[in-house]
Copies of this chain bind each other. A is one copy, B any other.
Amino acid sequence: MNRIYFYLLMFLSVSYAKAQDPIIGFTSESSKEQYSLEAKFDAKLSAENLDTWMQLLAAKPHYVGTEYGKENAEWLLQQFKSWGYDARIETYQVLFPYPKTRLLELTGPQTYKANLGAVPIEGDKYTEQGDALLPSYNAFSTDGDVEGELVYVNYGVPADYEQLEKLGIDVKGKIVIAKYYGSWRGIKPKLAAEKGAIGCIIYSDPADDGYVQGDVYPKGAFKNKTGVQRGSVMDMPLYPGDVLTPGVGATKDAKRLDRKNAPTITKIPVLPISYEDAQPFLAALEGPVAPESWRGGLPLTYHIGPGPAKVHLKLEFDWQLKPANDVIAVLKGSEFPDQWVMRGNHHDAWVHGASDPISGLVALLEEARAVGELAKAGNKPKRTIVYCAWDAEEPGLIGSTEWVEDHQKELKEKALVYINTDGTGRGFLGVGGSHSLQAMVKEVAENVEDPETGVSVAKRRIAVNKVHGGEDSDFKLSALGSGSDYTPFIQHTGIAALNLGFGGESSGGEYHTIFDTYSHYKRFKDPDFAYGITLAKTAGRLTLRMANADILPFKFSDWYTTVSGYLDEVMKETEKMRKEVKKHNSMVAENAYELASDPTKPFVKPEKKEEVPYLNFAPLENSFAELNTTIEKFGEASFLKLSDSKKADVNKKLMDMESYLIREEGLPRRPWFKHQIYAPGFYTGYGVKTLPGVREAIEQKNWKEAQEQIVVLSETLKKFNSELQGILDLL
């Protein structure tokens, strides 16, 4: 052993001594027990299991309604049972369209018929499964048969349509072609339809997702010219889950909407294509050259159109109800069986889904196996742990949403947290979730070792923040938007939630393509499943600490800093908007836009904008001031010293705290989304909008609604404050 290595070991042992500090929510004594439990838990984890199970679960395509999906669910059920869980499959009947007709052709000035085919890759046997590979399409596109001139709309997000307006280009009656990224995909056809387009093509540009990013599959991990990203375009920011049964479980006999009236099916047909297929369409466009930031990585000059490229798009779907099989596995708590720690990952995939979702699912399974074996050996959790393997996440969080809607009442009473994972890879820990859990997540992250560097995953995350981030490099939770199964828990039901995974060193272009296979995963993602095990350690600790804590580890000072920071942000954004409108209006008055424009190029003279009024933010500022006082007191309170029965009273109240952040009426125009702090953006999709009622009203310049939502939110915060005060009153 050389000297430097010796000192390094010294340093590590010192660093791990810290792991014996009391755990948040645990007394000194129970902390020791918990550390000992976690050491046993770690010792049970085997990377080999992850590898074996991934090969099994991702052997064939297993999207909703497939035989292999059903086999996987049955296998999962048997596994959970064998580990001592009380497990069952709960099946919902959900609308899930398969493609019947997919036709996309350039009809002028040249002709080209899009290939749309899945091309097998040498060295990846999974890609050779022919017809079993689900053809590329966007689920919940409407049927349609349209023909029109083509317009290139960049990412097809609101800012892009503003740009088109400046150029005097209208998409009314046209078919748009948009790049993937820049927003969740479903926003593209939604906005295009709002603007009057009659069809939408989405493609993966090599600049974002192809050879510009790195070598393409099979040489490298990135998207090759035939790869197509599948995915749902259901209007999930309105409501996720089965399109026919909003708000209620899609049980066999549930009352269903007529499909014609289902508001979350797109208004226009939409189809995803590869960059090889996109190239002839883009090359056939004329009209203005696309703005610099719109240009992609294909070897051509990006023009906007409209036309002369003319496009024919015909899509037909097989609109059938399919069974969604959720696997639910319960390990009853020894002391508080009616307090549920929930933990989930979906099992359905677009094709094989080795990465998405099987990499996360096998980590969850290994975690569940270890937890089950510990329980068998006498280490039963105090609270009930519920493992969930969801079906039908891909088409729109359907399996989880229907289950949550179906079990709404019981969940509100019993669920204290939902911990979600999904695909995972090699690299750095990323966690989003309820900020009342930030302190405990950070503590867990400090206790889990990063397999590549030997430091804690928290320390590594902070190092990445320092090197690649801004000024503030602290370990933090991001706010949850949407995109995985936590949504029905936190945003519809008000259950505290977390979503975690590793990544940053394993990027590729396989997402939702036929290339998301075991072969790809083993070469480019997490070859030895070291990070799969690390995820099991991290999520397992979160689960076990929530299950065994003496006082539930909800802390509110980080919550306060973060959420009051959102208010500062909204206020600053409003000021910025005010300044921009002022500047814009003065430039319109001075004719500056016209003078700065090239008269040989299209130009539409901009109009003055409505001035931004001063909003009364005082109700929110006052609510936060009150919260500040309460939360400071809360930080000083010693709940661990209370009697067991008092502790139980505190916990019963603590587990409900997140629910006071929801409002039964929901957000304006989307009552399904009830959380007042976090929501997916109405025009960003997965992307989060914090303080969504207020923020989106301001962004949409709906000043009246903004002022109303300020009051609504301040009342929510007052209620939250009085409930916190109620806990303090127990002292």
* Residues in A lying within 8 Å of B, measured CB to CB: 206, 211-216, 220, 222, 289, 295, 297-301, 427, 452-453, 455, 459-460, 462-464, 466-468, 505, 587, 590-596, 598-600
Contacts and interface: CB of A to CB of B under 8 A. Distances in A.
B301 A468 contact: no
A299 B468 CA distance: 28
B299 A592 contact: no
B595 A463 contact: yes
A595 B289 contact: no
B600 A505 contact: yes
Given A215-B289, A455-B595, 6 more contacts: A212-B301, A216-B301, A222-B301, A297-B299, A464-B596, A466-B590
Contacts of A214: 289, 301
Contacts of A300: 211
A598 B505 contact: yes
Given A467-B592, A591-B463, A453 B599 contact: yes
B592 A466 contact: yes
A462 B464 CA distance: 42
A594 B466 CA distance: 12
A299 B600 CA distance: 31
A301 B220 contact: yes
A466 B297 CA distance: 31
Which of A452, A459, A466, A468 gathers the greatest number of chain B CB atoms within 10 Å?
A466
Contact of A467 (B216, B295, B596): B596
B590 A427 contact: no
A595 B453 contact: yes
Given A463-B591, A592-B463, A593-B467, A301 B453 contact: no
Given A215-B289, A463-B591, A467-B592, A599 B298 contact: no
B301 A587 contact: no
A301 B599 contact: no
Contacts of A211: 299-301
Contacts of A598: 427, 505
Given A466-B587, A467-B587, A301 B596 contact: no
A460 B596 CA distance: 6
A142 B481 CA distance: 60
A593 to B, nearest CB: 6
A429 to B, nearest CB: 12
Nearest to A302: B212
